[in-house]
Amino acid sequence: MTSAPRSLSRQERLRSFGAIRRLFQEGRSGFVHPLRYVWAAESDEIPSVEVLFSVPKKFQKRANRRNLQRRRMKEAYRLNKPSFDRDGHPVSVDIALIYSSKEILPYQVIEHAVRKILEQIGSRL
């Protein structure tokens, strides 16, 4: 059973504690308002893009607002997710998207930021 090309399956989510630690220690970072991002590329035999979504309690105190922003980030990524290639060879990329604004911003702003982040990561590979 294959997943639809626009779905966000469990295998596409960054869940491993070791991988998350490695991403934040060795990854490169950037900022596109309202998102901070950290990414690291690896050349594995099995190419995959794994992503982590985070809305810190420091910026959004209420859980329902954190969940809203996290859902908006997931949806924007799901609709714009890329397949990264380096010199014609697919690569594995780990990405963390961290919401860094105290304001509740509309979906269009978040989608624009996610699209810009994915373009920047793709151009740096």
25: left (phi over 0), alpha (psi -120 to 50) or beta: alpha
For residue 2, being part of any structural domain is answered with no
Question: Can the peptide bond before residue 90 be classed as cis, meaning omega within 30 degrees of 0?
Answer: no
Q: Look at strands 92-99 and 28-32 and give their pairing.
A: unpaired
Torsion of Cα atoms, 62 then 79 then 116 then 17, to 10°: 60
Q: For position 52, what pLDDT does the model report?
A: 96
Instruction: Write the CA distances from 94 to 19, 52, 59, 79, 117, integer angstroms.
Output: 8, 8, 24, 18, 13
- One-letter amino acid for residue 1 of the chain: M
Q: For position 82, what pLDDT does the model report?
A: 79
Which CATH number characterizes residue 77's domain?
3.30.230.10
The domain of 62 spans 10-124
Local mean pLDDT, 10-residue blocks, the chain (125 residues): 67 91 95 96 79 95 96 94 74 93 96 95 88
Query: pTM of the full predicted structure?
Result: 0.89
CA angle 111, 21, 82 (to 5 degrees): 30
For residue 5, being part of any structural domain is answered with no
Q: Domain count of the chain? A: 1
